[in-house]
Amino acid sequence: MIGSPERFIKPGDRILIKPNMLSAKEPEHAVTTHPEIIAAVGEIVLDCRGRIILGDSPGGAAKNIKNYWNKTGISAVAKRLNIEPVSFEKSSVKSFKAPGGFVNISTIALEADGIINLPKLKTHILTKMTGAVKNMFGTIPGFRKGFLHSLAPEPDDFAKFVFAAYKQVVPNLNIMDAIVGMEGNGPSSGQPRHIGAILISEDALALDSIAARIMGFDVRELPMFKAAVEAGYWQWDSDPVDLYGDPIEEFIAHNFLLPDVSKLERLPDFVKNNLKRLIWIRPQANPEVCTACNLCVESCPVEAMSMVRDVPLIDYNVCIKCGCCDEVCPENAIEQKMSLLARLLA
Ligand code: SF4
Ligand code: SF4
């Protein structure tokens, strides 16, 4: 419906296939782009006589990227396609100015002839939803991403960094795995939710606006769209998206569970302002599940975590609620705890 693959892939082109490989978790957890989607897109690239570069850089990648490849099914896909996945951690980077700092993008992504972006439909405890634009943040190698959280702890400011990175690596094509998405406290610890859709667009924002509608978000509440408006890539007062294929109404996820933080944000301002100290949500490690791997402690951009008797403890005076510890935890041991009042009101 958007034209043949040859529109996007010319013979000999080096095409970066960029899945969401957020955590070292198996596909059934719906945290990562399903390997069957990656394999299908890879086969199309090969059919067009393109050359595949397959890679992503999750927060904890520097430590053991092969574990991520194996758990998420990427190793098996690579074998099927007869290629080797790439590690952005081993590449050089180029710096670009962003509001409030710089973003360092892997030259592997910058030098590709084309990019096919394969995001996953999921909620996000910081930016409310993750999608095609946010997925390109993974072209910033490893722990450097966490550092940007420390420069911009507020979601709206952080989204400006994400958007600054996206502008340097705008994909030629975006194919979202929305067959089984994630609701609740995504992008790593939510619950799988069947949607049954594959969303395809040349425009990452157009695609994300449709994913947002499926999940029940108004784009005006999403930090990524606010950053896009500020950068002149999106306008509030027009809906520039033409939809083809099955009617969107068939895919709207009724009673979709939003991240807890979204529920609290929707409370009236006078409640939020007057009861600020009593309404909170914060991460906490579950000692029953934690294996003391230390990955979260190493990933925390503000050093708010320390390992005490084999359980990470968090200093809430320092924590900026970035969600990095949750994203890297391979055991789903980081839980979002709400105060009693927050639970009553949400
Ligand atoms: S404790 Fe977790 S949520 Fe808090 S700043 Fe560290 S990584 Fe971010
Ligand atoms: S909470 Fe998760 S990432 Fe942190 S030490 Fe425990 S198992 Fe590892």
Instruction: Check which CATH number belongs to the domain holding 301 and give it.
Output: 3.30.70.20
Rounded to two decimals, what is the model's pTM?
0.95
Q: How many helices (H) and strands (E) does the chain have?
A: 14, 13
Non-local CB neighbours of 3 within 8 Å, separated by 6+ positions: none
Q: Are 235 and 103 members of one domain?
A: yes
Q: Are 246 and 274 members of one domain?
A: no
In a domain, 258, yes or no: no
pLDDT tier, 64 (very low <50, low <70, confident <90, very high otherwise): confident
In a domain, 196, yes or no: yes
Q: Are 98 and 194 members of one domain?
A: yes
Q: How many angstroms separate the most distant Cα atoms in the chain?
A: 61
- State the residue for tokens 């579950």: 286
Residue 59 C-alpha to ligand 2 middle, in angstroms? 13
- CA-to-CA distance for 328 and 310, rounded, in angstroms? 17
Q: Whose CA is nearest to atom 2 of ligand 2?
A: 329
Which residues form the domain of 178? Answer: 5-250
Evaluate if residue 238 carries a pLDDT over 80: no
pLDDT at position 258: 94
What is the pLDDT of the chain when averaged over all its residues?
A: 94
Residues with CB under 6 A from ligand 2: 285, 290-296, 312, 328-329, 331, 333-334
pLDDT tier, 239 (very low <50, low <70, confident <90, very high otherwise): low
Lowest mean pLDDT among 137-151, 210-224, 250-264, 332-346: 137-151
pLDDT tier, 144 (very low <50, low <70, confident <90, very high otherwise): confident
- CA-to-CA distance for 299 and 240, rounded, in angstroms? 38
Non-local CB neighbours of 285 within 8 Å, separated by 6+ positions: 296, 311, 312, 313, 314, 325, 333, 334, 335
Q: Which of 250, 284, 310 is the last residue of a domain?
A: 250
In a domain, 286, yes or no: yes
Extract the runs of DSSP E, i.e. beta strands, from the chain.
14-19, 51-54, 93-98, 101-106, 114-118, 120-124, 128-130, 173-183, 191-201, 281-285, 305-308, 311-314, 334-338
In a domain, 260, yes or no: no
Percent of the chain with pLDDT over 70: 99
In a domain, 53, yes or no: yes
CA distances from 317 to 45, 173, 218, 280, 305 (A): 49, 42, 32, 13, 11
Q: Whose CA is nearest to atom 6 of ligand 1?
A: 300
CA distances from 97 to 127, 181, 228, 346 (A): 21, 33, 16, 38
- CA-to-CA distance for 292 and 305, rounded, in angstroms? 12
In a domain, 259, yes or no: no
* CA 291 to ligand 2: nearest atom: 7
Q: Whose CA is nearest to atom 8 of ligand 1?
A: 322
Q: Are 272 and 246 members of one domain?
A: no
Q: What is the mean pLDDT of residues 81-102?
A: 94
Total number of domains constituting the chain: 2
Residue 314 C-alpha to ligand 1 middle, in angstroms? 8
- Give the ligand with the smallest distance to the CA of 300: 1
- CA-to-CA distance for 228 and 135, rounded, in angstroms? 15
Q: Are 175 and 226 members of one domain?
A: yes
- CA-to-CA distance for 165 and 199, rounded, in angstroms? 22
Q: What is the mean pLDDT of residues 56-69?
A: 86
Dihedrals phi, psi of 274, to nearest 5 degrees: -80, -25
How many C-beta atoms surround the C-beta of residue 47 within 10 A? 11
Lowest mean pLDDT among 5-9, 98-102, 164-168, 177-181: 98-102
Cα-trace Rg, the chain: 19
Q: Are 35 and 91 members of one domain?
A: yes
- CA-to-CA distance for 8 and 234, rounded, in angstroms? 23
In a domain, 262, yes or no: no
- CA-to-CA distance for 312 and 60, rounded, in angstroms? 16
CATH of the domain at 228: 3.40.50
Q: Are 116 and 242 members of one domain?
A: yes
